[in-house]
C-alpha cells in the first residue's frame, strides 16, 4: 500500500488496555487556563516512568463548561482505576487548585452503570485541605466542593467518571533525513489535534526515543527500539529500509478503539509525502498488550 509515494507497511501497532478520566478545567482568562493545563499535563508522557499519560484533548468554549467560563478538557490515562484515581487527585490538587482562578469538573458526567466504567474521587480526594472549613453543595446534578483559599474558593466536583480506554496506539514515520521526518511528524500531530477523545501525550506529540519491551539490564522495563535506530542498522536486526535515516513515533491514547483508529488514520495520511519512505508501527509480539491496530485496514476505513 502506498499513499502520496509513501509505503505503508503491512504491520500493526500493539496497544494495551487502560483506564481514563476526562477532567474539565476552567479559569477566568486564557493566561491562567493555559498555566493550569501546562502544569496538569506536565510529566505525563509514558507510564514507563509517569503516574499517568496526560494531554490536552481540546479547549472548550464557555457554553460547553459547567460554570460557563472558557475551559479545557484534559485526558488522563493509567493502567488501573486505583492508580488513575491517585494521579487525577494529585494532579488536580497540585496543579489546578494551586493555579489562580481555576475550577475543576468531571468531564464524563452521567456515565451509565456498566462494567467498563466507574467513579473516582476528585474533590473528595483534596477537600481535606479546607481544614473543616470546606463545604459540599449541589449545583444542578453535580456535587461541588467549595474549598477556601486565599483568593476566595476553589470549586471542584466531588467525583469523576472513569472508563476503560486504550493506550499505545502508534505509528512510525520513517524519513530520508531529520527535517523531512520532523516536518511529517508535526503534520501528523496537527491533523490529530482537533479530533475528540484522543491525546498524543509526548512532547509536542512526537517521540524520538521509541522503546521496545524489556532490556538487557535487569529491572529495566523498556529500552531503545534498536530495530528502528538508524545508527544501529549494522549492529542489530534492523527493520529500516536502506534510505531511511530518521524515525519518529506518534503515540495515541484514546477513549475508544474507533477514536484511536481514526486518529491513526488522520495522522498517517498527513505524514505521507515527499521525504517519507515508509510508515510502520511498534509491535512486540504481544509482550505489551493484546490490542492490535492493523495499518492497512485502518487506512481503508476500518477500526
pLDDT band at 123 (very low <50, low <70, confident <90, very high): very high
Q: Are 143 and 157 in contact (CB under 8 A)?
A: yes
Domains and CATH numbers, the chain: 2-14+165-299 (3.30.70.520), 19-163 (3.30.70.520)
pLDDT number for residue 67: 97
pLDDT number for residue 114: 63
**What number is the average pLDDT over the span 54-80?**
98
Percent above pLDDT 90 for the chain: 94
As a whole number of angstroms, the distance between CA 168 and CA 28 comes to 34
pLDDT number for residue 302: 79
User: Locate cell 486564557: which residue?
Assistant: 30
Q: How do residues 145-178 score in pLDDT, each as one tens digit?
A: 999 999 999 999 999 999 999 999 999 999 999 9
As a whole number of angstroms, the distance between CA 174 and CA 267 comes to 14
pLDDT band at 25 (very low <50, low <70, confident <90, very high): very high
Percent above pLDDT 70 for the chain: 99
Closest residue by Cα to residue 252 from 227, 282, 275, 220: 282
Q: Which three cell numbers stand for residue 41?
A: 499535563
pLDDT band at 110 (very low <50, low <70, confident <90, very high): confident
pLDDT, mean over the chain: 96
As a whole number of angstroms, the distance between CA 94 and CA 77 comes to 18
pLDDT number for residue 116: 79
Q: How many CB atoms lie within 10 A of CB 254?
A: 28
pLDDT number for residue 117: 87
* Alpha carbon separation from 283 to 17, 123, 287 (Å, rounded): 15, 38, 9
Backbone angles phi, psi at 231, to 5 degrees: -75, -10
Question: Helix, strand or coil for residue 198?
Answer: strand
pLDDT number for residue 7: 98
Q: Is 266 left (phi over 0), alpha (psi -120 to 50) or beta?
A: alpha
Closest residue by Cα to residue 93 from 40, 37, 160: 40
**What number is the average pLDDT over the span 8-36?**
97
Using the predicted structure, report yes or no on whether residue 112 has a pLDDT greater than 70.
no
Q: How do residues 174-232 score in pLDDT, each as one tens digit?
A: 999 999 999 999 999 999 999 999 999 999 999 999 999 999 999 999 999 999 999 99
Amino acid at each position: 500500500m502506498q499513499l502520496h509515494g509513501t509505503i505503508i507497511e503491512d504491520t500493526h501497532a500493539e496497544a494495551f488496555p487502560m483506564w481514563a478520566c476526562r477532567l474539565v478545567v476552567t479559569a477566568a482568562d486564557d493566561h491562567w487556563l493555559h498555566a493550569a493545563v501546562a502544569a496538569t499535563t506536565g510529566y505525563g508522557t509514558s507510564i514507563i516512568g509517569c503516574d499517568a499519560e496526560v494531554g490536552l484533548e481540546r479547549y472548550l468554549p464557555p457554553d460547553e463548561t459547567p460554570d460557563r467560563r472558557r475551559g479545557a478538557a484534559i485526558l488522563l490515562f493509567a493502567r488501573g482505576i486505583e492508580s488513575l484515581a491517585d494521579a487525577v487527585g494529585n494532579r488536580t490538587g497540585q496543579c489546578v487548585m494551586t493555579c489562580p482562578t481555576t475550577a475543576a469538573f468531571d468531564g464524563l458526567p452521567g456515565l451509565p452503570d456498566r462494567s467498563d466504567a466507574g467513579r473516582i474521587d476528585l474533590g473528595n480526594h483534596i477537600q481535606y485541605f479546607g481544614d473543616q472549613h470546606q463545604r459540599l453543595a449541589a449545583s444542578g446534578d453535580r456535587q461541588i466542593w467549595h474549598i477556601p483559599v486565599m483568593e476566595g474558593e476553589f470549586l471542584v466536583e466531588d467525583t469523576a467518571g472513569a472508563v476503560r480506554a486504550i493506550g499505545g496506539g502508534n505509528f512510525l514515520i520513517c524519513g530520508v533525513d531529520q527535517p523531512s521526518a520532523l516536518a511529517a511528524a508535526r503534520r501528523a500531530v496537527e491533523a490529530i489535534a482537533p479530533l475528540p477523545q484522543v491525546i498524543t501525550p509526548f512532547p509536542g506529540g512526537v517521540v524520538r526515543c521509541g522503546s521496545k519491551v524489556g532490556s538487557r539490564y535487569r529491572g529495566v522495563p523498556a529500552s531503545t527500539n534498536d530495530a528502528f535506530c538508524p545508527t544501529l542498522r549494522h549492529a542489530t536486526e534492523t527493520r529500516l529500509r536502506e534510505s531511511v535515516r530518521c524515525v519518529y513515533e506518534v503515540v495515541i491514547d484514546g477513549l475508544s478503539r474507533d477514536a484511536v483508529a481514526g486518529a491513526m488514520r488522520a495522522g498517517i495520511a498527513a505524514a505521507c509525502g515527499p521525504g517519507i519512505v515508509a510508515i510502520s508501527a511498534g509491535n512486540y509480539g504481544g509482550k505489551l498488550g493484546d490490542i492490535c491496530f492493523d495499518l492497512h485496514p485502518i487506512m481503508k476505513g476500518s477500526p
